[in-house]
Every structure is written in structure tokens, then in C-alpha cells.
Amino acid sequence: MEPLDEAIRASGAAAYVAYASSADADMLYLTRFRTTDPIVFLKKPGERGTMVVSQMEYERGVRESTAAVMTRADAGLSEILKEEKDRTRAYARMIAGLSGGEILVPPQFPVGLARELEQFHRVAVDRGTVAAMRAVKRTGEVREIRKVVLAAEAAVSKAIRIIARATVTGGILHRNGKPLTSEAVRQDMHTLLLARGCRAQDTIVACGQDSAVPHLRGAGPLREGEPIIIDLFPQDEISGYCADLSRTVVKGEPDVKVAEMYRAVHEAQQLAASMAQPGVEGAALHQAVVEFFAEQGFESSTRGFIHSLGHGIGLEVHENPSLSPGGGPLEAGNVFTLEPGLYYPEVGGVRLEDMALLTPRGCTLLSKLGERLGL
């Protein structure tokens, strides 16, 4: 964790301190310990880093965490609580004693606890050191991400098979004599993911005009001849790593404009993948796609291409790096999505999304699921 050591020294602090549950991706990254209750993580330069947990969690922490483990009692909290009625102030006293000097905290550190800590030591706010560390994936992290990608591909493939096998009555897709709905397809995808140790929420199965709103989940019966965007972003229940995958399909004959949009989106994704290299800015990739769409007659404003080209992905679905107008230089080890899309309310939307790993030689797609529009 040398970058964190450097950040501590640069701030003039004695230690870096975080206080959160493992729902905070930085805390999960630093400790590899899953907990629903907030814990303290404290690191001094040159040291391994220690998490402070309840006695009940001590043994599990020793077995599962990459950090050293200390109980709250050993950290002095039990004795402090005999004097302090305010639990937040008691935690501040405990942390102040462990740190032995000025403290560096992450941006999401609880403000109330920070103010109590300031009664003992100066508190400085870090500017995303851990988030930057998380953006460059190690071999083991890429391996965990690949597992989730495979699960996502299986779930999206299942959704596409369901839509392809549906019958059509009165322009509405049917399965087993009943209308096939967004909700039913979503449930089948989630069931498959659970069997593979993953969970998902807010999965998108959006048809027709709904598909022109990028993050609308979709509801009700699916219809013949209209674009259906399937966008899935599951998380592995054990490792915490995520995947993100989108496909657009049409049951029957696609509208001519939808087919043109699909071709342009597919080519835009290929263009971005070919340009991705270490040192290239995410902003440059985004702008290249904007310019490509303009050449094809598609705007990038309130219609057409209306979102960023992509985003980093790891312990969170959206993390560094950013492939957007403000995106900085890419680094080998980055894992990110390439998801160009076009959206027009009168015909619907088209989005294709794959995940990529940036190597010293360029961009390698992690998702291998094929693409086809008409079913």
C-alpha cells in the first residue's frame, strides 16, 4: 500500500483512519473483510494496517482479513466508555490514542466523528488515494472480475433466448400463453445469478420508448419489432467484485433507423477499443465517439449519444477511471466498460456494453458474448 503511505506522509499525518462497513468499497478493499457494522481501519506508514472490531468478530477477522486485527477492548474502548457517555466521542478518543498524532481520513469519513477527532488531533482529508489504488487491478482482482463477467454473460444469454423463443400475438411477446414482461425476464436473470453466487438489482429490460431513457428499468409486456435493451450489473456475493454488460435486441424485423443506430453503436465501440492505450485520456476516447457519431448523422446532446462512453468497474459498478469529457489518462490494469449508445424517443434506444482490461499492449475485452440485433 505504498501510495497510501505516501499520502499519509505528504499530509503530515501520523496515520490514515477509515470508519465504515464493507458496504464502503474502500474499506472492503483495504481489509477484504465483509461486515454490516462499521469498523475502524488504521494504518501508519510502513505498517500493515489494523482493523478494530468487536470481540465477536475477532476470530473471523483473523481468518478472513488481510489486515491485522484488534478488538475494541484491546484498543481501549471499554475503559473509555466508562467515562464517555457519547459513543462518537468515545470512538474519537480511542482512534486518537491509536494514531498518536495527526490523522488523514477519506472523503466519505463521518463528519461527526471527524469533528470529535479534531478535539485531539488535526484531521486532514485525503483526495481519493484508495480510489486511485482500486482503479489499477491486480491479477487476482481481474480473476474475480472474470468470474462475474461469466455469470453476467450467462444471464444476458438467457434473457435473449427467452425473447427469441417467445411467440407473438397482437404484437405482444408471449411465453406459455401469457404476455412476456420485463419483470418476468428480469426475475429469470436474477434467479440464474443467485445460483452462481451473484446478486443484482435495478436490472434493465426496457422496450420501445422506455429503451430511449438509459437507466429506466422497464415494465410491462415486451413488444414485437421494438428495441429491447438488456443491461445487467451483478456483484459477486463473496468477493464483492462487479460486472456490467448490455445488449440490444429486437424480436422480429427491426426498424430501419434502429438498425442504423445499432450499426453505428457497434462501430463506435470498436473504434474506442482500438484507441485505448495506457496514457490515452478517457476524455479523448469519449470525444472520438462523439465525433464518429456526428459523422454518421447522430447528435450528442439531449438526443442521440447522451451519456459517457464508459466507466471503471471493480468493487463498485462505477469507479475510476472515467471515459467521459473529464476523464484522465488510462493506466495498464484499468478495467472499464465501453458502452456507446444512441437514444431517440420516437424509435427507442440502442446500447452495447462490454468490459475491457487495459494492458501495456492495449485493450482486451473481458466479455465475449456475441452481438445480434434481430431475433
pLDDT tens per residue, range 31-80: 999 999 999 999 999 999 999 999 999 999 999 999 999 999 999 999 99
Q: Band of the pLDDT at 145, cuts 50, 70, 90?
A: very high
Instruction: Give the distance, in angstroms, between the CA of residue 20 and the centroid of all CA atoms in the same chain.
Output: 18
**pLDDT value at position 85?**
87
Q: Is the pLDDT of residue 283 over 70?
A: yes
- The architecture in CATH of the region 2-134 reads 3-Layer(aba) Sandwich (3.40)
**pLDDT value at position 1?**
66
Each domain of the chain, given as residue ranges in start order, spans 2-134, 136-365
**pLDDT value at position 75?**
96
CB-based burial of residue 26 (10 Å sphere; 0-12 exposed, 13-18 middle, 19+ buried)?
A: buried
CA distances from 22 to 3, 37, 120, 360, 375 (A): 21, 8, 27, 32, 42
Q: What is the pLDDT of residues 162-192, one digit of tens each?
A: 999 999 999 999 999 999 999 999 999 999 9
Q: Is the pLDDT of residue 121 over 70?
A: yes
Report the share of the chain in percent with pLDDT over 90: 98
**pLDDT value at position 320?**
97
| Lowest mean per-residue pLDDT among 22-26, 33-37, 299-303, 335-339 | 299-303
Q: Is the pLDDT of residue 23 over 70?
A: yes
Report the share of the chain in percent with pLDDT over 70: 100
Average pLDDT of span 338-343: 98
At a CB cut-off of 8 Å and minimum separation 6, what does 174 contact?
Answer: 166, 167, 168, 180
The listed CATH number (3.30.9.10, 3.90.230.10, 3.40.30.10, 1.10.645.10) that belongs to domain 136-365: 3.90.230.10
Query: What string of DSSP letters covers 278-312?
Result: TT-BHHHHHHHHHHHHHHTT--BSSSBS-S-SEEE
Q: Are 310 and 318 in contact (CB under 8 A)?
A: no
Q: Band of the pLDDT at 26, cuts 50, 70, 90?
A: very high
Cell triple for 132: 486511485
Neighbours of 136 (CB within 10 A): 18
The torsion defined by the Cα of 316, 68, 40 and 49, in degrees rounded to 10, comes to -70
**pLDDT value at position 123?**
97
Amino acid at 246: S
Cα separation of 361 and 269, whole Å? 18
Average pLDDT of span 224-248: 97
